[in-house]
Amino acid sequence: MKRVLTGIKPTGTPHIGNMLGAIRPAIELASSGLDAMYFIADYHALTTVHPPKYGAADLKRLTLEVAATWLALGLDPSTTMFYRQSDVPELFELAWVLQCFTPKGWMNKAHAYKAVADAARAAGETDVDAGINMGVYGYPILMAADILAFDIDLVPVGKDQVQHVEIARDIAQRLNHAYGADLLRMPSAKIDEDAQLVPGVDGRKMSKSYDNVIPLFAPSKKLEKVVKQIATDSTPPEAPKDPATSTIFQIYRALARPDEVAAFAERYRAGIGWGDAKKTLFERIEVEIGEARTRYDALIADPGAIDELLVAGAQRARAIAGATLGRVRRAIGIGV
């Protein structure tokens, strides 16, 4: 059985775009004959989640929210492995070994680092590295450890994350070649070509960085208020409208059944007021997430139970990571 790994960085409250574009597709893999592992990448989040904007309580809250979200949406910890990155110390020892076999030039070309440096350069900064910590710079190496520690075959990623899997492969190949042994399994990226890109309230891709998200499990009144903020034009209610150009319709289409989408499109072409369109979307979201919100609220109210699940998952994960690290330690001449 091939093993698949999904990492979730707790850097913000999950939103509808996360559910449709990442969470549901990742959970569905567990029912497709794959050995699925899911982890909350809390140490990866530390590259940005720190004072003065965030404190320790914030990282703890964000981790809890992410765990509760995935569980509420159907992740089953009895049939999959669900754990916190920080509960598997073998990852961080392996990451150091991998650092010692990673050329600096590879990190200079890493997308995460280049994006921050390019933004600083565009802003006219003389020192483009001024705002970059070593966590950001070495991010791909810790991600490689996350993958290589567990003999992973497949890593579901968006196209912008493929490079990280390629770096993990390159490091594994370099270490294997250096010691003449198959110490680390070579992972492959699994790209979902049908992944849904859901627009936010301003029409751009729904993203925490754009502050345009529809929170996934917000109370009904707050959810309705956010939906009412979706950008529209001044077309009068009675005028026919093109559903393809409507942010409201695009979000609805990502949630609804084909017959519901077709019926909503007809209402657009016949003429619909933006208030009615937003009301229809709000009601469809409520149908989609109502039961899951109830489960989420119950989970959030019992953080101790979530912690127990994550600790139990980490114990299972450590057994695999420990075996991998043991192979590596013996090969490099450290430990028994």
CATH superfamily of the 217-297 domain:
Tyrosyl-Transfer RNA Synthetase (1.10.240.10)
pLDDT at residue 197, rounded to an integer: 81
Distance CA(261)–CA(252), nearest Å, equals 7
Per residue in 282-324, pLDDT (tens digit) is 999 999 999 999 999 999 999 999 999 999 999 999 999 999 9
Residue 192 has pLDDT above 80, yes or no: no
Q: What is the pTM of this model?
A: 0.92
Q: Among residues 153, 163, 147, 67, which one has the least CA distance to residue 114?
A: 163
The mean pLDDT of the chain is 94
Per-residue pLDDT band for 194 (boundaries 50, 70, 90) equals low
Cβ pair 199, 247 in contact under 8 A? yes
- How far is the first Cα of the chain from the last one, in angstroms, to the nearest whole number? 31
**Owner of token pair 């939906």:** 227
Cβ pair 66, 10 in contact under 8 A? yes
CATH number of 3-197+303-332: 3.40.50.620
Kindly list the domain boundaries of the chain, sorted by start residue: 3-197+303-332, 217-297
Q: Among residues 29, 11, 24, which one has the least CA distance to residue 70?
A: 24
Q: Comparing 3-197+303-332 with 217-297, is the CATH topology the same?
A: no
Distance CA(45)–CA(59), nearest Å, equals 8
Residue that wins the pLDDT comparison between 219 and 32 = 219
Per-residue pLDDT band for 91 (boundaries 50, 70, 90) equals very high
Tokens representing residue 296 in the block: 């989420």
Distance CA(180)–CA(167), nearest Å, equals 19
pLDDT at residue 59, rounded to an integer: 95
- For 38-42, 88-92, 207-211, 267-271, which range has the lowest pLDDT when averaged over its residues? 207-211
Residue 223 has pLDDT above 80, yes or no: yes
Per residue in 136-168, pLDDT (tens digit) is 999 999 999 999 999 999 999 888 789 999 999
Cβ count near 249 (within 10 Å): 24
Cβ pair 21, 54 in contact under 8 A? no
Tokens representing residue 29 in the block: 């893999």
Per-residue pLDDT band for 335 (boundaries 50, 70, 90) equals confident
pLDDT at residue 175, rounded to an integer: 97
Please, what's the b/e burial string for 268-281 (b: 16 or more CB within 10 A of its CB; e: otherwise)?
beeebebeebbebb
Q: Cis (ω within 30 of 0) for the bond into 52? A: yes
